[in-house]
Amino acid sequence: MAELRAVLLALLAWLLPALASADHGRHWELLPDTGEFTDVVALDQAAVEWEASRWQVPNLGFQSRPWWFRLDIAPDELAPGPWRLWLQNSLLSDMTFAVLEDGKLKFSQRDGLWLRLDQRAAPFRQPAFAFTVEAGKHYRIYLRVQSETALQVPAQLQPEDVFLAQKEAGDLLLGLFLGVLVAMMLYNLALYFSARETGFLLYGGHVLALLFFIVSWQGLGATWFWPGLIGLQSSSIAIATFLVIGFSTWFCCVFLQLNQENFPYYRLFIAIRVFAFGGVLVMPVLPIQWAVVSSSALSVPAIVLVARSLLQRAALRERPARLFAMGWALYVTGAFMMGLNKFGFIEVTPASENLLLWASVFDMVLLCIALGDRHILDRNLQLARQAQALDQAGRDLEGLQLRVQREQSARAALAQDLAGQESYGRELELRNRGRQQEMVEVQRGLEQASEADSLTGLKNRHYFADRLQEEIRRCRHLGTCLSLLLVDIDRFSQINDSHGHLAGDECLRQTAEILRLQLKRPADILCRTGGEQFCVLLPDTKGDGAVQLAEQMRMKVADCPMLCAGVRVMVTVSVGVLLYDPASGARTDQLLDLAGQALRQAKASGRNCVSLAAG
């Protein structure tokens, strides 16, 4: 637990600066936009009471209405030359930037996610308004900001060259961070395809969702990936948050092997996961701000449950569980601080804003090690089980060899005894012949069983196919005739649906018995070929005799009520009759197709009838 204590101390060191109020430097003034003023000069001259910002970085949490922000710059406070007002928040929906020089409007620009990239003040992932400062002038900056996410204005005034240098450094660092995430995702997906373990796939999904979240949060999506999709720019952060929550809780359950027996809040984990993925599905019908607030609110119970599971499983003396707890402790803390930040409970600081990013890198590294350790532990356990099984197999083999040796000794003694007892040898030979006869009978019984239908006792489809080919060859050789009946029970599925499968089975047995009783010649063969269908082979039978038998079978079935599972059932059958002509040269499958067409014709004619085909 020493490693976990060290991580917690590091977290405390990050938390204290974030929770402390940074009340130094220049503060903005705030005013809610009531719609009374649309002209900045009129607002500047109006006698309205502005409110001082609580923190250096204004943080109003989730606000549905727009707000005005004002900042005074004394003469010669800024060096003359080009400057930038850099807002390090990529999720603001609509911004109007205005600069008054000695009370006169000098600059006015717009930016935000509600505008296309070519309509924005600058093609950067974060808003950066350019203006020029002249010596001896008094400047007043106005910002009108509206946001569907948290209304935070982390604005910095920087000279143009300093801004460009810091922007390039920040973009490089963000690119390095995203590269690490992409590498981790590909690495875990490769491990999944090689090891086929669900944990690697879920972790890859978690990293992919986190990538989508960071791309949306840092403005890369609106700048590079979907600059023309205004709706996606606003809703992508909520979709990404839902996905991160869903995959995070899912992976946590799988990796820590949580279930209802070892974790009392396991059902809450499942509910949060369902709500998270369900939130992605209902995004098209939710207002954007509702989706953002609900996804952010859902992260609170998710964070609490993950922290609870970490505290419970970190006590295990398993290195993977402890590494998981160390990595996710920092990650969960970063997510918790971001939630407090977005709801306006703490100030926007580098710690509260960026801890999640660096915690993710720390978490990625530790979890890759933990997943590897988990894989090695499972592999070692599997090898130990295999070794135990091999050891048991070796002991079984030794016992078998001992029994074989004993049997060989017994046989040698028996052979020696048989050599001196001729009469006993003859008796043994008779016994062997009897056993061989029994084996022949058993083999014959097995062959008969393989040809019989277990439900009705009739011959099955395999026997029917073989016998049909034999009869066709016989007809061609002798020039005799052959008829084939296909019998199908009408609306059999309704019996199963209404009375159950036991009633359906009894119906099949009684129908088979009725059909069997109609056959008078030993050469006639009745088979069940599948489901509710039966086939009748009638050697040396012409078409009129086959049709007469088919009508007799149809009438007998229709006139006989059946008691199936205690229910009285009346059924009918449809019969397709085929007269085989040896001169046609038709194959077996063609004959069955023709008979099937005749049966379908009988069905189409209203069922409970007979239809004739010739082939």
Question: Identity (one letter) of the amino acid at 136?
Answer: G
Confidence at 328, pLDDT banded by 50, 70, 90: low
Q: Are strands 610-614 and 155-159 parallel, antiparallel or unpaired?
A: unpaired
Any idea which of 150-154, 195-199, 595-599 has the lowest mean pLDDT? 195-199
Contact 324, 366 (CB under 8 A): yes
pLDDT band at 360 (very low <50, low <70, confident <90, very high): low
9: confidence class by pLDDT, cuts 50, 70, 90: very low
Predicted confidence (pLDDT) at residue 315 exceeds the cutoff of 60:
no
Helix, coil or strand: residue 123: coil
Question: How high is the pLDDT of residue 68?
Answer: 92
Q: Which of the 8 DSSP states describes residue 207?
A: H
- Separation CA 412–CA 153 (nearest Å): 99
Quick one: average pLDDT of 205-220? 86
Q: How many CB atoms lie within 10 A of CB 391?
A: 10
pLDDT digits (tens, 9 = 90+) for 49-92: 888 888 888 888 888 889 999 999 989 889 999 999 999 888 88
- 3-class secondary structure, 539: strand
DSSP letters spanning 557-582: HHH--EEETTEEE---EEEEEEEE-G
Burial class (CB in 10 A: 0-12, 13-18, 19+), 277: middle
Three-class secondary structure of residue 97 per DSSP: strand
Q: Which two tokens stand for residue 397?
A: 């083999």
Q: Where in the chain is the domain with CATH 2.60.40.2380?
A: 26-165
User: In the sheet where 67-73 sits, what is the strand order?
Assistant: 51-52, 29-32, 67-73, 139-146, 94-101, 104-111
Cα–Cα nearest to 113, from 35, 239, 34, 216: 216
317 is written with which tokens?
């003396």
Q: Which residue has the higher pLDDT, 326 or 462?
A: 462
Q: Which residue has the tokens 């194959």?
A: 587
Banded pLDDT at 12 (limits 50, 70, 90): very low
Long-range contacts of the stretch 218-221 (C-beta < 8 A, 24+): 218/90, 218/125, 218/126, 218/174, 219/90, 219/91, 219/124, 219/125, 219/126, 220/125, 220/174
Kindly report the length of the chain.
Answer: 615
Statement: residue 370 has pLDDT above 70: no
The pLDDT of residue 319: 63
Residues 324 and 310 sit within 8 Å (Cβ to Cβ): yes
Cβ atoms of residues 142 and 70 within 8 Å: yes
Dihedral sign for Cα 21, 22, 24, 27, please: negative
Catalogue the long-range contacts made by 16-21 (C-beta closer than 8 Å, 24 or more residues apart). 17/349, 17/351, 18/337, 18/346, 18/347, 18/349, 18/351, 18/352, 18/355, 19/346, 21/54, 21/55, 21/347
CATH level 2 (architecture), domain 26-165: Sandwich (2.60)
Mean pLDDT (the chain) is: 81
Q: Are 359 and 330 in contact (CB under 8 A)?
A: yes
Is residue 18 within 8 Å of 338, Cβ to Cβ?
A: no
Euclidean distance between CA atoms 259 and 255, whole angstroms: 11
Summarised one tens digit per residue, pLDDT across range 549-579 is 999 999 999 999 888 878 888 899 999 999 8
Residue ranges of the chain assigned to CATH 1.20.1070: 176-384
What are 155's two structure tokens? Answer: 């604005």
DSSP for 340-353? HHHTTSS---HHHH
The pLDDT assigned to 97 comes to 93
Residue 534 reports pLDDT greater than 90? yes
Rounded CA-CA distance 479/140 in Å is 112
pLDDT for residue 371: 60
d(CA 270, CA 250): 8
pLDDT at 3 over 50: no
In the chain, CATH 3.30.70.270 covers 461-614
Confidence of residue 25 (pLDDT cuts 50, 70, 90): very low
Question: How confident is the model at residue 356, as a pLDDT?
Answer: 64
| pLDDT of res. 538 | 92
Give the pLDDT of residue 441.
67
Strand 567-569 relative to strand 562-564: parallel, antiparallel, unpaired?
Answer: antiparallel
Contact 157, 90 (CB under 8 A): no
Residue 533 confidence (pLDDT) above 90: yes
The CATH number fitting domain 176-384, selected from 2.60.40, 1.10.10, 1.10.3470, 1.20.1070: 1.20.1070
CA dist list (Å): 77 to 56, 135, 316, 501, 569: 18, 9, 59, 91, 100
Extract the tokens encoding 525. 């063969």
Provide the pLDDT confidence category of residue 14 given band limits of 50, 70 and 90: very low
- Token match 């393989």: residue? 450
List own/partner pairs for 217-225 with CB under 8 A and 24 or more apart: 217/90, 217/91, 218/90, 218/125, 218/126, 218/174, 219/90, 219/91, 219/124, 219/125, 219/126, 220/125, 220/174, 222/90, 222/113, 222/117, 222/125, 223/117, 223/123, 223/124, 223/125, 224/125
Q: Classify 610 as helix, strand or coil.
A: strand
Greater confidence (342 vs 18) lies with 342
Give 327 or 160, the one with higher predicted confidence.
Answer: 160
Model confidence pLDDT, tens digit, residues 422-453: 776 677 677 777 677 777 665 665 566 577 88
Rounded distance between C-alpha atoms, residue 298 and residue 271, angstroms: 11
- 3-class DSSP state of 528: strand
Per-residue pLDDT of 461-508, as tens digits, reads 999 989 988 988 888 888 888 899 999 999 988 888 888 888 899 999
Instruction: Write down the pLDDT at residue 11.
Output: 43
Residue 21: predicted pLDDT: 38
SS3 content of the chain, % helix, strand, coil (to 5): 60, 15, 25
User: How much is the average pLDDT of 206-225?
Assistant: 85
Query: What CA–CA distances, in Å, run from 248 to 202, 222, 302, 408, 571?
Result: 8, 25, 9, 64, 58
Domain 461-614 belongs in CATH node 3.30.70.270: yes
Residue 452 is classified by DSSP as: B
Inform me whether the pLDDT recorded for 45 exceeds 90. Answer: no
Task: Provide the whole-model pTM.
Answer: 0.54
What is the DSSP secondary-structure string of 402-445?
A: HHHHHHHHHHHHHHHHHHH-HHHHHHHHHHHHHHHHHHHHHHHH
Q: What average pLDDT does range 13-42 have in this prediction?
A: 66
